[in-house]
Chain A
Amino acid sequence: MATSSLQTIADIRAAMNEGLTAVEICGQYLDRIAALDGPIHAFTHVATEQALEHAELIDRRGPHDADLPLAGVPVAIKDNICTRGLPTTASSRILEGFVAPYNATVIDRLTAAGAIVIGKTNCDEFAMGSTTEHSVSGPTRNPWNLDRVSGGSSGGSAAAVATRLSPIAVGSDTGGSVRQPAAFCGIVGLKPTYGRVSRYGLLAFASSLDQIGPFALTVSDAATLLQVIAGQDPCDATSSTETVPAFDTMLTEQLPHPTIGVPWHILDHGVDPDVRAVFSAAIDVLRGQGANIVDVPLPHATYAVPTYYVVAPAEASSNLARYDGVRYAYRAPLDAADADLTTMYNRTRNAGFGTEVKRRIMLGTYALSAGYYDAYYLKAQQVRTLIRRDYDTAFERVDAVAMPTTPTPAFGLGERSDDPLRLYLGDVFTASANLTGLPAISLPCGRDKSGLPVGLQLTGRAFDEETLLRLGAAYERDVPWWRDTPPAATGT
């Protein structure tokens, strides 16, 4: 299949101005999904009928709706975000057959902006994982190399955009679940500041860490998408009243002389040499653009993984208590002899949850249990404060902190499935942004020797997505890695 002529929001807008209808655009993307998604498995549900209906509505409203920022633009939605009338399963058996009775706020905002929900994307079950292998429907493969993982947990959303099956997508990021798959698939992924985007209708995993974020091929498209979904929501008391600036109109102006901090010492061990080299080259590009590069210590940064893996499972063990076989979808079959309530709960949860989810529920329950609370949960929350203080200190003299998004490029399918701890360690550079609540973006910044994408992560001050987007936009003007398409995007 040929490379799509429609890649960005600007391409779609231009095509519509030239007379292409929203239905035709939607049809082109649906054709691409039908032709190319088989080996990738980015989508768990393609919303053909609903998408075409919505596209027709956009067309019927006529050319006046061209001011809608996403008029006729397809968007893929991670399957842990409620979409009225469509399946919402978080890739879990326990929610098989669940059809959301209401829309998440982000869905209402996308629809109001003219976007067309084209389908639901695969993820690690309840967003727990970094490979999209922990899905009841099987893994999402990496469009650059089908033997590699797409990353996770929002692997389906990242692979869909990289393969040009949808120009933009939405995911959720609890410890790196937007940025890491964006890095592995060679696209842009942003975790906004905690509170920037409403989480109403997001299936809760770890409520002090979860944040919904955009995927796009370009920084400018990520900015447009963020603009649409950001802002206070009466249905989410943790969503912030901070003003949402016009992200998408401020990108053309380069920041005059930004200072960017790099914690070089944490890159000395355990980082793949190709990743390290590609990252250093990216820093050279930023320096060449006038950025002042300084070393920042971040002494507690490497404790992000143990801290995160205490806090996140603890919160998950509580959030996932609601899946009990009473209200949602799946209940395990019971014999008449053992048909009591507790057996029903225990059997439903054991058969309904996959191994990784059970492992984390167990870990979290343990960390919160009597006698261990202070040693694990309280201690981790204190270290969380120290990690935040490190960043506060750094931001006294830098505008952003740069590091690779991940210590390695995409690894092989199944390669780490028997060793959960090894998998967890891959979150070392991403988890801090969730623990601190700070915004962070992953930009495609090159490829390793085997051609796999590498991500550059920039972390910013709270509610200063603007700096990250402006730095990112300037970077991609000089080195537009997003223009490279993966082999799977042409079915080769």
Chain B
Amino acid sequence: MSLIMPDPAGLIQLERRTRDRTAVLASGVTTLKRADVERIAELAHLELTESETTLFTRQLADILSYFDQLQQIDTTGVPATTHPVTSAPVMRADDPRPSMSRDEALANAPDPSENGLFRVPKVIG
């Protein structure tokens, strides 16, 4: 396995990134376009402004190209860690117990209705 040791504060990568961004992008898995950022914003339910889209296109491209170093690591046959603890979750007995009242649950709602519901804008036209 070949291991390339990045310096902890990442200064080498930062210099490289600034010097020749295209080369780094070309070597990795990532090229990020404005249209990608617009598509992700839609998936994430964020109505970004034009300037935010511009900012994120540049910053996310930088961050993703930094992530490309992960591709240098041989992970053949290595299992994925989804959770740091291997023991099974501890389940409590499924017994009914008092819960918060409807009024309490609605107390923080931006637009509660008089009959005890969360009101939202029209869903079906």
List B24-54 residues whose CB lies under 8 Å from chain A: 29, 32, 36-37, 40-41, 43-49, 52
Beta-carbon nearest neighbor of B68 in chain A: A306
The distance in angstroms between the C-alpha atoms of A99 and B121, with both chains bound, is 24
- Flag whether A363 is at the interface (Cβ < 8 A): yes
Do A384 and B90 touch (CB < 8 A)? no
Q: Is A454 on the interface with B (CB-CB < 8 A)?
A: no
In the bound assembly, the distance between CA atoms of A306 and B69 in angstroms comes to 8
Interface-centre pick from B12, B85, B123 (highest chain A CB count, 10 A) = B85
Contact A384 B80 (CB under 8 A): yes
- Are A341 and B8 interface neighbours, CB within 8 A? no
A271 with B8: in contact, given A99-B108, A328-B108, A382-B75 (CB under 8 Å)? yes
Check A366–B91 contact: CB distance below 8 A: no
B120 near A344: Cβ-Cβ < 8 Å: yes
Chain A residues within an 8 Å CB radius of B59: 359, 420-421
The complex places the Cα of A9 from the Cα of B8 at a distance, in Å, of 37
Asked if A451 is an interface residue, CB under 8 A from chain B, the answer is: no
Interface residue ranges of A315-365 to B (CB < 8 Å): 317, 321, 324-331, 334, 339-347, 349-350, 353, 355, 358-359, 361-363, 365
Contact of A428 among B9, B14, B85, B89 (CB under 8 A): B9
Q: Which residues of B contact A62 (CB under 8 A)?
A: none
B102 to chain A, nearest CB (A): 11
Set of chain A residues within 8 Å of B81, measured between Cβ atoms? 381-382, 384-385, 388, 435
Distance between Cα atoms of A344 and B80 in the complex (Å): 37
| Cα(A266)–Cα(B8), bound, Å | 6
Asked, given contacts A270-B7, A358-B46, A363-B60, whether A344 binds B108 with beta carbons under 8 Å apart, the answer is no
Q: Could you say which residues of chain A place their CB within 8 Å of the CB of B56?
A: 358-359, 362
Does B11 belong to the interface (CB within 8 Å)? yes
B19, CB-defined interface residue at 8 Å = no
A218 to B29, CA, bound (A): 47
A386 in contact with B78 given A240-B85, A421-B63 (CB within 8 Å): yes
Q: Are A436 and B84 in contact, with the CB atoms below 8 A?
A: yes
**A358, chain B: closest CB distance, angstroms:** 6
A385 touches B85 (CB 8 A): no
Residue-wise, chain A 399-433 has the 8 Å CB interface mask toward B (1 for contact) of 00000000110000000000011101110110000
Q: How far is the CA of A161 from the CA of B47 in the complex (A)?
A: 39
**Residue on B nearest A379 in the bound complex, by CB:** B70
Q: Are the CB atoms of A339 and B121 closer together than 8 Å?
A: yes
Q: Complex Cα distance A492/B53, Å?
A: 44
CB distance from A261 to the nearest CB of B (A): 17
Residues of B within 8 A of A256 (CB): none
- Contact among A240, A309, A407 with B67 in the assembled complex (CB-CB below 8 Å): A309
Which residues in B have their C-beta under 8 angstroms from that of A269?
7-9, 11-12
Residues in chain A near residue B82, CB distance under 8 A: 208, 381
The 15 sampled A-B contact pairs (Cβ below 8 Å) are A237-B90, A240-B85, A269-B9, A270-B10, A302-B6, A324-B45, A328-B108, A339-B122, A344-B121, A365-B44, A376-B67, A421-B62, A421-B66, A428-B10, A462-B85
Give the interface of B toward A (CB within 8 A): 3, 5-12, 14, 29, 32, 36-37, 40-41, 43-49, 52, 55-56, 59-60, 62-64, 66-67, 69-71, 73, 75, 78-85, 87, 89-92, 100, 104-105, 107-111, 118, 120-123, 125
List chain A positions with a Cβ less than 8 A from chain B. Answer: 97-99, 101-102, 194-195, 208-209, 232, 234-235, 237-241, 265-271, 299-300, 302-303, 305-307, 309-310, 317, 321, 324-331, 334, 339-347, 349-350, 353, 355, 358-359, 361-363, 365-366, 369, 375-376, 378-386, 388, 407-408, 420-422, 424-426, 428-429, 434-438, 462
| Shortest 6 CB-CB contacts between residues of A and residues of B | A437-B84, A270-B9, A269-B7, A381-B80, A331-B110, A237-B89
